[in-house]
Structure 1
Amino acid sequence: MLEKEIINFEKTVIAGVITQEQDEEKLSEYLDELEFLTFTAGGEVVKRFSQKMERPNPKTFLGTGKIEQIHLYIKENDIKTIIFDDELTPAQQKNLNKILDCKVLDRTNLILDIFAQRAETSYARTQVELAQCQYLLPRLSGMWTHLERQRGGIGMRGPGETEIETDRRIVRDRIALLKDKIKTIDKQMSVQRSNRGALVRVALVGYTNVGKSTLMNVISKSEVFVENKLFATLDTTVRKVVIKNLPFLLSDTVGFIRKLPTQLIESFKSTLDEVREADLLLHVVDISHADFEDHIASVNNILQDIGCIDKQTIMVFNKIDAYKPLTIDEDDLITEKTSRHYTLEEWKSTWMANVGEHNALFISAVNKENFEEFREKVYQAVREIHITRFPYNNFLYPEYKDNMAVEKEDSEEE
C-alpha cells in the first residue's frame, strides 16, 4: 500500500533564493517546510535549487543561468512540477511557464491547493475558493498564452482580449458571490456563538502540525481528525469540556504557517473569530521542532494582525517526548553552544522566566505526560475568568463550599 502511494507521488523540484534578509540556513529551513508542504499535497521532492541574489529577478525570479540549469534537469528527469518558496508575480509565473514547459507553482499556490484538498465543510470550501479566486484574478492573462496575443499581426486581433475580459468579469462576479455567501454563514455562526451562553471560551492556537487536534481529543475526549501532515484541520471544532465540575468551551482552530498567503488570512478571518472571541488562548508549540521559536513569532504576528496579541495566553510546549537537543562532544572546542543545544530543563527555565511560571507548560499530548498539571493550570485560569464574570455563582468550586461551611460555623458561634 505504501509503495503504491509513493509511486503515485508527483515528481517535483523546489527552488528559493538566498538574500540579505534570508541567509542559507534560513532558506534551508524554509525549503524543509516547503518539502513537507509538497508531501502533504501529494508530491515527492527529488531536488532543490537555490541561488544567491541581492533580490529576486523581476522576470524569472532566479537568474538566467540557474533557470537554464533547472530547465535541463526537468527535461532529463521528467519532472512534472517546480515550486518556488516565495510568491511569484503574474509576470514571473507567465515567463517561467514559457521557459520551463512544466507546471510552475509558488508557495501560495501550493498552500491554497492543500487547503482545497482539506476543506470538508461548505464554509471551509467557500473560504478556500474565495482565496483561490483572489489569487487567480491578476494571473488570468498568463492562462491565455495559447492565443499568442503577444505576437500581434494578421489573425491575432480581437478574441484574445475579449476572452480574458470575460473571464475576469466571471471571476470578479464569483468573488462577490462568495463574499456574500461568507457574510451569510458568518451571521449564522454569530447566532450559534451567541446561543452558547456565557461559558468561558478557550481557543487552541499555534503553528500547523504542532498537535492541537491531538490535545483537543485528549482534553475533550472527542475524535477530531489527526494526521502528521500540515493543515490536517481547517474547520473550527468546538467542544464543551468540564474540569472539576467547571464547564467551558474549547475550540480547535486552523494552524498558522510562515509566509501565510494574504488571501487566506483575509478569507479565513471569520474562522479566526473563535480566536477573537476567546477569553483564554492556549498557544501550542512543537518544542521538538528545530525552529519552534520562529513558529512562535509567526503565530504572534498573525495574532497581532487580528488584534488578539494581548489576550490572556498559556504557552503549551507539546511533544516533549520527541525533543532531542544537539549534543557537543567534550573534546570539541570549536562548536559554540547555541539554543539548539539546550536541554529540556534549560528551555523550561528560559520560557518560565520569559512568560511566567504559571503561563508555561511542558507536556506530551500523545503520552499524556504532565497532563494533570496541564488540566490544573487550565482549570485555574478558567476559574479566575469565571469568578470575575460571575461573582455570585461560585458554588461551582469545591473550595467555595468549604468557605461557606467555615462562615456558617463562625456565625453560629457569634
Structure 2
Amino acid sequence: MTARHILSGRADALADPTATSAGDQAFDDSGFVRPREPWDPDDDAFDGEQLDREERAALRRVSGLSTELEDVTEVEYRQLRLERVVLAAVWSEGTADDAENSLRELAALAETAGSEVLAGVVQRRATPDPATYLGKGKAAELRDIVIAEGADTVVCDTELAPSQRRALEDVVKVKVIDRTALILDIFAQHAKSREGKAQVELAQLQYLLPRLRGWGESMSRQAGGQAAGGQGMGSRGPGETKIELDRRRINTRIARLRREIKEMKTVRDTKRGSRRANAVPSVAIAGYTNAGKSSILNRLTGAGVLVENQLFATLDPTVRRAETPDGRMYTLTDTVGFVRQLPHQLVEAFRSTLEEVADADLLLHVVDGSHPDPEGQVSAVRAVLADVDATDVKEVIVINKADLADPEVIARLRRHEQHSIVVSARTGAGLDELRALIAAELPQPDIDVDVLVPYDRGDLVSRIHETGEVLASEHVADGTRLTARVGPDLADHLTAFRA
C-alpha cells in the first residue's frame, strides 16, 4: 500500500459509508454515524481492542509541514546551507491530533536547527518496530519518498535505539537522526556561556557513546597482529581498535566536563547563598519552550534578554533584580525551556542550572495559551520539574499570549488550574495583576521592629527598605528612627538598635 496524506483517510471514510475510522465508527446509508455494536464476551472472534487494520497499514502524509521559502530573494542563499529533511513518526497512542501536533513540533525543531522540511509521514502501529522503527515495508516506502523529495536526512520523532538507526539508514540510504539528536544540535547552536557549552557537550557525548559506529575495516582493525594489521615485524601486539580508542577518549572527556561543571556549580551556589544571606526572595520563570518566558522577564525587569519566535532561544539562565509595587526587592530568573521527551542527558547535564527553580520561593509556570495542546505543555514541564525535585515550590500558572489565544481555551485552562493568571507579554495586558500577585505570594516580613539606626549604619537602613516593609521613618539627632516589618535574619541584626 502506498503512502497517503493523513487527511485523505478521513475524506475516504466520508466517501465510503461502510468504511471505519480510527475510532472504529461506521456510517449508515444516510451518512450518520452507526452506533458501535456492544462487545459480546462470549464471542470467540473478539481478541481485545485493536488498532484499525487500515490505519495500521497506512503510512500517512501530514500536510502543512514544509518550511520551504517562497520569497525567491532569500532562497538562493538558504538552499546552499539547509539540509532537506523528511520527518517520520509512529503513532501508537493518543488521537490523530496528538500525533499531528507532535510532528508539527518536530518540524519546528528541525527548522530551528537549520533545515528545510519537505514532508512528514506517520505510521499507525501498536509499538515501533524493533528493527527499523517503521517496519520493513514502510521503511521502503519512506525511501521512495526521500528519493522523490530529494531529501538528504530523515528525522524520527522519538529516540531511536542504535540498532534501529543503523537498520533504517541501511534502507533509506540517507542520514537518519532522532528527536534527541535534533534537540542536542539546537542546544549546541544556542549555548553561549562557558557553563552552557560544557553542559551541552556533556549531554552530546553521553548520547554519542553507545552509538559509535565503525565505518569499514579502519574502525575495527587492531593496531597489532600480523593477521589484523598485515604490517609484519614490530607491529604485533594486543592493540586497540579504533572504536575502543574513541570510546576511551569520550569517557575521559566526560569525566573532565563533569569536574568543570561541578566547579561552576560552586560559583552559582555561592551567589545563591549570598542572596539568601541578604534575605532576597527569588522568583523562577519556567515553562515550555517558546511560551514567552523571556518576554515576560523583559516586561517585568527591562532586562533586554534575547526574544525570538523560535524554540530554545534561551539556554543560559538570566538572573535580574526586580521590585514589587510596595518596594520590596526580589530576583527573577529566566530558565531554559522544556519540551516533550526532553532528552534525559540534557536534564542531567543542566541539573545545576535547573536547581535555580528548585531553590526559588515562587515559580511562574508560563504556558502558551495559543498552542494547540497547552495541557500537554503543562504536563511535560511538570514531568521535568519532578526530575529536578522542584515540585514543592509554590506554583502560579501564567497563561501567556492572551491576545492570540482562543477565549474558550483560556477558560478551560483556568478551570483546570485554579492558581492561574492570564497575561500578554506582547501587549502588556495583565502584567500589573501579575506584579501584584508576585508581591502577594512572596514571603512576607512578619517581625515588627522599632529601631534607631545610627547614621554610620546606612547599610542596615538600605536593607530594611529593600527587604522589609517600612511603616514609619524619621530622622533624629542620633540617627534614623524606623518602624518596620522585617524578616527573621534582619531582625537579629537590628536587636542592638531597638529604640
Give the TM-score band, short-chain normalised: 0.7 to 0.9
Using the alignment, how far apart are the partners of 1:236 and 1:126 within structure 2? 14
Matching of residues 107-122 of structure 1 within 5 Å: 107-122=179-194
1:64 aligns with 2:145: no
1:387 aligns with 2:460: no
1:227 aligns with 2:285: no
Counterpart of 1:224 in 2: which secondary structure? coil
State the TM-score, normalizing by the size of structure 1. Answer: 0.84
Alignment gaps of 5+ in structure 2? 1-72, 231-238, 450-462, 474-482, 485-499
Q: 1:181 deviation in Å? A: 0.8
Counterpart of 2:200 in 1: which secondary structure? helix
Using the alignment, how far apart are the partners of 2:349 and 2:166 within structure 1? 25
Using the alignment, how far apart are the partners of 2:413 and 2:355 within structure 1? 31
Percent identity over the alignment?
38
Q: 1:161 deviation in Å? A: 6.7
Matching of residues 349-364 of structure 1 within 5 Å: 350-351=415-416, 354-355=417-418, 359-364=419-424
Any conservation in 2 of the 1:12–1:46 contact (CA below 8 Å)? yes
Using the alignment, how far apart are the partners of 2:112 and 2:161 within structure 1? 24
How many residues end up aligned between the 2 structures?
A: 374
Higher relative contact order (CA 8 A, sep 6+): 1
> Aligned residue for 2:291?
210
Using the alignment, how far apart are the partners of 2:433 and 2:244 within structure 1? 60
Structure 2 letter corresponding to 1:25 = D
> Aligned residue for 2:96?
24
Using the alignment, how far apart are the partners of 1:204 and 1:117 within structure 2? 23
Counterpart of 1:113 in 2: which secondary structure? helix
Structure 2 letter corresponding to 1:108 = T
- 1:73-99 C-alpha deviation (Å, 9 max, x unpaired): 222332111000010101111222222
Using the alignment, how far apart are the partners of 2:161 and 2:170 within structure 1? 14
1:270 aligns with 2:352: yes
Q: 1:105 deviation in Å? A: 0.5
Any conservation in 2 of the 1:394–1:400 contact (CA below 8 Å)? no
Any conservation in 2 of the 1:387–1:394 contact (CA below 8 Å)? no
1:85 aligns with 2:166: no
Using the alignment, how far apart are the partners of 1:23 and 1:347 within structure 2? 19
Counterpart of 1:386 in 2: which secondary structure? coil
1:233–1:364 CA distance, 2 compared to 1 (3 A):
same
Of stretches 175-184 and 94-103 in structure 1, the one that deviates more from structure 2 is: 94-103
Alignment gaps of 5+ in structure 1? 326-341, 406-414
Counterpart of 1:315 in 2: which secondary structure? strand
Structure 1 letter corresponding to 2:86 = V
Counterpart of 1:189 in 2: which secondary structure? helix
**Comparing both structures, which one devotes a greater share of its residues to helix?**
1
1:191 aligns with 2:281: no
> Aligned residue for 1:11?
84
Matching of residues 275-354 of structure 1 within 5 Å: 275-324=357-406, 342=408, 344=410, 346-347=411-412, 350-351=415-416, 354=417
Q: 1:177 deviation in Å? A: 0.7
Q: 1:230 deviation in Å? A: 0.4
Counterpart of 1:270 in 2: which secondary structure? helix
Counterpart of 1:46 in 2: which secondary structure? strand
> Aligned residue for 2:426?
366
> Aligned residue for 2:340?
258
Of stretches 309-318 and 188-197 in structure 1, the one that deviates more from structure 2 is: 188-197
Counterpart of 2:364 in 1: which secondary structure? strand
Using the alignment, how far apart are the partners of 1:307 and 1:92 within structure 2? 33
1:347–1:251 CA distance, 2 compared to 1 (3 A):
same
Q: 1:119 deviation in Å? A: 0.3
1:398–1:175 CA distance, 2 compared to 1 (3 A):
closer
1:286–1:158 CA distance, 2 compared to 1 (3 A):
farther
Structure exhibiting the larger radius of gyration computed from Cα positions: 2
State the TM-score, normalizing by the size of structure 2. Answer: 0.70
Matching of residues 55-204 of structure 1 within 5 Å: 55-140=127-212, 142=213, 144-147=214-217, 157=228, 162-196=241-275, 197-204=278-285
Any conservation in 1 of the 2:196–2:315 contact (CA below 8 Å)? yes
> Aligned residue for 2:457?
none
